Each structure stands twice: as structure tokens, then as C-alpha cells.
Chains A and B, each alone.
Chain A
Amino acid sequence: MTDYAIANPLREPKETFRRYAIFGLCAIIVLAVGKDIIIDKTDWERMGTLQEMIKTALFFVPEWSFFPKTVLPLLETLLIAIWGTILAVVVSVPIAYLAARNITPLPWITYPLGRGLIVLSRSTHEIIFALIYVSALGLGPLPGILALATRSVGFLAKTTAEAIENANPGPIEAIEATGANRVMVFCFGVIPQIDPILVGNVIFQLDINIRRASILGLVGGGGIGLMFAEVMQNLQYSRAGVIVVGITGMVVIGEFISNRIRQRLI
């Protein structure tokens, strides 16, 4: 008994064997899958030499004279992100109200409903939502906005619901004790407790949505992505280079501003 207590349990022979077996198995699976999907399924003949690869990459060297034409689509992308986020906030607060265990009005019905909506929103990619909205509403920024909003509701409602669940029950109880109705208990007892968290998450979501908005155009959702798809189809790689730089710049600026704001909030 004492021997076992002193000895490092990791060194116990059976345990060691099991660890190696699991490691080995994982390694075999990774290598086998790697061989199948990378080595076998790549068209090595077509890839060409390193020199040719560098030559292709140089096609993307930005053609700066094209830059002014990207400004408006970039701005549109930013607006899609902002509108999608605003819409998501408006929808997510009532969903969070349903999905917060401590205040949901009818725990057996509204709680699963709220959680279900959150899962629905979070489990689907924004491109899929965009495809659905584009086929329903046609091309343009509106389906893009709706796709982002639908995708963002889940994250915002989930984090808000969690903040509500972690809220101090004391003030909520105090407002209930004044005879206030449910809406006022929520607005007075709950919202002031969660609004710093809510604002922080909204800004974080906006930051992510700027990135998401830049690809919605690929499926007809408006913004810079549409222009990117066009120039790629026309093999205008140097213009694609300009767009990539533009998107990167916008995302970096967005991230910088959002970090600044969130730091100030905390």
C-alpha cells in the first residue's frame, strides 16, 4: 500500500500502457486521415513548382488605383454589421428574458423555448442564413443584415441570459416587494445589473460581425464580399488584393476601437 502511495501514479505500468495505447491510436487515425484527405486527394500534378506558386501569389499585389472604388462597399459592409448587431440586440433581450432560469415566466414552456431559439441561432453558419434570406428576399444588403442578426441573437441572448442568472437576487426581490409588475422588475431590478456586461458583449459581437459581413456578399448578401466575388470571377487578382487589404484594415480598426471601448467599460 505504502509503495503505491509514494510512487508516482503516472508511472504505474497499466496506466502507462493505456496512455501509450490511446496516444498511438490517435496518431494512427490522424496520419491515416491526413494521408487520405491531403496526400491522395490533392491534385499534385497541377500544383507546379515553387516558382510558379510565387508567380501566382504576385498576381495579388494590390492595384492601388482600384482602392477608391472599394470604399463604398466597405462602408456598406460596416453598416450591414452595425444593423445586423442592432437588430440582434433588440431580439436577444426578450429571448434572454425567456431563457434565464431565474426570471423566465413559465419555466416548463418559456425556458426550453428560449434555449431552443438560442441553439437554433448558434448552430447554423451565417452563410446558411444568408443563403436562406437571399432566396427569400433576393440579393442585396437586407438579407445580409438579417443573416447576421439571426446568427448573433444566439450569442447575445445566451450571454445576457447567463448575466441575468448571475444577477444579485436581492434588488430584484426588493423591486418585487414594492408591488411593481414583471416588466418593471426586469427594467429596474435586472437591466441595471447586467447592462455593463450587455454593452461589452454587443461591442464584441459587432467586432465579429464586421468580419462576417465581409463574406456575406459571396452568396449575394451585399457589401464588399460581392465585389470580391466579381473580381475573382474576372480573374482580376490585383483588385482582389486591394479588397483583402481593405477588409483587413477595417477589421483591425474595428477591433482596436472595440477593445478601447470595452476596456473603458471594465
Chain B
Amino acid sequence: MNFEEVVQQEKKEYDLLFSEKNAVLIGSATCGNSAGAQIAKKAIESEMENSEHVVEIIEVGCIGLCYAEPIIMVSKPQKPAVIYGNVTKKVAREIAKSHLINDIPLPEYALGSWGEGYIDGITPLLEQKSMKMQERRILRNCGFIDPTNMGHYLAQGGYAGFMSALEMDSSEIIEEMKKAGVRGRGGAGFPTWMKWQFCIDSDQETNYLVCNADEGDPGAFMNRSLLESDPHSVLEGILIAAKAIGAEKAYIYCRAEYPLALERLKIAISQMTMRGFLGENIQGSGFNLEIIIKEGAGAFVCGEETALMASIEGKRGTPRTRPPFPTTEGLFGKPTVINNVETMASAAFIMQKGADKYSELGTTESKGTKTFCLVGQVKNTGLIEVPLGTTLKEVIFDIGGGIIDDGEFKAVQIGGPSGGCIPAQHIDTSIDYSSLIGVGAMMGSGGLVVMDQSTCMVEVARYFLEFIQRESCGKCVPCRLGTKQMLDILTDMTTGKGSEEDLKLLPDLAQAIKKGSLCALGQSSPNPILTTTRFFMDEYEAHIKDGVCPALDCKDFIEYTIDAEICDGCMVCLKSCPVSAITGSKDEIHVIEVETCVKCGTCLDLCKRKKNAVKLVDAK
């Protein structure tokens, strides 16, 4: 069978799943599994065992609505499918009995319907605000295909992009990337085509390709989700890039903290080999490629390209000065292109659907879509994809549904530790490379951490500095010692020991570290301080001058107390206090002894759901 015939056959089989079969798709990426996807799966299996209905149960990736995990999709022949959320064991059984066996969908558990037609009481997912604003292109297959079945990817038009790339020479492929205007999705936003061109121009015999899947930014999991849900889209991009730069060896550097992503990558690679998409003479074209997976061993700095290469070579992952850039002198001294996971998947999209299709979305200088992880104090946490140029407000309030418990929006942290915190007055900022830099942040890899009034911005800055200081590789002095100094100052401030002199010292220190550090980790390490002092100076001053944490977040500034008007003496907090700091007896008002209390928050957590009598107050 030739490629077209294989695709036709796979497509037919995939379509049968929805047109003639009873199918259940279970979201079983890391988020789904941690929320209980496997329990839901077992419940459905055991319920169906006793019926004469045949049902095909398929584990798929993440559809992106992580807040509602576990998520399952139920499809009956010739009807729109229904996507259910928060599927506990009990709900899964009900769904099996009602929808799968008796053909009665259950709107009370449904998140939305999928496919043509309507079901009473269930709004199609694509007509809902949270989905309407999105353009799922890179994530188009996530949640709809079995990531361990290469046939599903082929049925969606997969590898057609690579097949056309096989017919093209390097310059034609690079031209297509240039036309699309795709920029590196790892954070820096360097034009992808240019990187590929530099590598070819270096004019050496051996070139390497590296796919950077060392997603270390806290608050970001786009790459994990994509690798777990649609690994072949990344692998197709790798094939295309390798073909363009003439590499015969490609490395995927993936974090060991992502065991499921690694497992699915390995399965995908073995399927590619079996079907003649890897190895020698791929699809009879004479093009050879070997893909090697390297597991990162837990060092944030290895996301930096020169450190990453050192790590692949078996060394300590310390960065080196650039130039020479990896495209001239990279892995094992050879010209090397290093591209992010999402960039690779974008290359596959561009070659499948065309450069014009890719660049129809976005702004003049920031083309296409970008995936983001919407997390923190926002209602609909999850993985989203929007055209560049969408505003932060649209993302947080329209797609994210606003702040949890109808709280007040305070700031959104974008771009990881090197990024910045954007406050409410700039919430209309457009998400594109230059607008974000304009407000002191950066695109970064795609983490969006939403913060409400309960988050202290001085503490957030301290948190990031603690992270950066821990991850500093120690090679250059400004970063090694400077980050420690900044951290010490911030720790003083959040524990009531801050001084006004320190506050004045911070900007000087920040400038010196920015100028003197070797790599981006050190150079951007003052960013958390620079953006929070720019927009939240009042909070810094409150800590230092008034001895108050306005957010009631920093432990040394707060106390827990019980409101005597509300407390009904139910004993719940008293019994669960780990240090027995609460006194009182049944039906009598309880009191927290300040001297004994360790401020763990257990009582508040428990009472919130009952009487809400435990309060956080300013220790003054």
C-alpha cells in the first residue's frame, strides 16, 4: 500500500468509531489520571460487562479542560458525542447505564456536545464562550485521538506534511517556514526559518537536530500535554526539520519528571520505525533519521540551549558564552538546531495545511496561535490555544471564566521565572511578543498564573528568586551570589525584617546581575523583582514601613482567630489542630492560642466549608 492508501484505510477505520460504534474516549493524560480517569474507565468497563452492548473504550489525551477532569466523551452512532466532566465512579456508572445502554444522555454532567446536531439541554462545546475564543490548531488532535495509535494520527492528515517535505529541497522547506512567520515557541521567539538557515550555511557535513522538551518553567505544562496527547505531531515536525537541515540524528531532551510523555514518545517512535518513517531510506526517499530520547535529570538551567547540549554530552549542565551559537558550533562541536516542542508541532501544521493557513491568525509580527497553561486562582484552569493578539482579559475572563470564588483579579504572571507580573490596569494588553515586553513581561513558554487578592506580590517575588537561586548553576559570580543576595533581602521583607535601605539597594543589584550574568537565567533573574516593584510598590512599602502584609499571606504578619459571633463550638477545628492550639468544648466558643498556633491553616480550611468562623487577621 502506498501512503495515500494507508491514510484512506486509517481514516475509514477512525470514522467508523463515531459513525457506527459505541465509543467512549477517556482523557488519560497526567491531569486526567491524577483526577481518577482510570477509576472512571474501570467503572464503565464493569457496567458494560453485564450488558449486550459492545463499546469501544479508548484512552485519549487531554482536551484542555483540566479543571473538570476526569473527562470522558461518549459517542453513539450517527449522533453528536457528549463530553462529560468530573466523572467520578458513581457518575461513570450512571453514564454507562443511561447514555451507553439506554441511549439517554445526561445533561446534568455534560460539559458540552461535539459534532453535528444538537442534544436537548446540552450546548455544543464549540458554541460556548470558553471554546469560541480559542483556535485549537497545535492542539487539534488532543483529546480526540489515541496517542498510542499512529493510525489515528494518520487519519487526521498526519505525516502528509512530512511527505510533501520529502519532495522539497531544504530551501523550499525553509521558505515555507519563512512565509508562515513562525517564531520559536520556547520563549525567546527567534524566527525558526532563520535558525534552520544558519545551520545549513555553516557548511559542515554533520548537523544535529535537538527538540527541547525540558519544560521546566513552573506553572507551564503545554509540552507535557502535547507529548502525552499527540506525540506524532511533534515527531512529524522533527522529521521535517531534520530533512530541512540535513540531519541524520535527532535528540529529544525530555524531563524525567514526565514519565507518561516519555512512555508515549517511545511507543510513537517504535510505531514510526515499524511503518518506515524512521531509520534508513525513509518512505523510499533515501533520507535517513534516527531519533534518540535523552531524559533530563532535573536541572532547570538545562532548558538553556548550551546547557542542554552539555547535558546530552554527559557533562554538568552549565551554559557557556555565545557566540559561537549552536547553529555553528553545537552538539559534539557540530552545527545544531534546537527547537522547542511546540515549534516542532507548528512545523508539522505548516507543512500539512500550508504557510498561509498558519499565518492567517495572529498579529503582523507575531503570527499564528500560541498554547498557554491557564492556572492559579482562575475558575477554568487548563490548556488553551489562542491566536496571538488575544488580550489577557479575554483569556482570563472569557476563556478562564474569571477568578475563583468571585474574588478580585490582582495580577497574572506570564513567562515563568524570567517573565513578569501584569496588574489589573494592564489587563487589556495584547498577547504578542512586543506588547508583553512593553509591560515588563515576556511571552515565555506559555505559563499564565492568575493571582487574586490573597496573593502577596512580595512573596511571589521571593518565591521566584528562591527558585532561580536554587537553579543557578553556579558558574558565574553575578548569578550565583547576586540571586542569593536578592533572595535574602526579599526573605527579610516577607518576615518583617526588611529595611528601606534594602529596597533602595535592590534596583542597583538587579542592574549588575542583569549585565554581568552569563546566560538568560541570570540575566532575567531580577525580573520578578523589577515587575513587582514597578506595579506593586505599595505592597513592598506596607511590609517595610507599616509591618503589614496587605494580602494576609506572609505568615509573620498574620494571625488566625475565631469569630465568637459565628463559632458554634462544633469541635471540628479543635480536634484536627496538629499542635492543640485551640481550646474550648462542645457547644462552647473555641479560642486559638496565638503562642502555640503554627499558622498551618487546617482550621480555616475545615471551617470554610461549615461556618466560616475562622478568620485571618493582621497580627497587629
Our verdict on whether A and B bind, yes or no, reads no
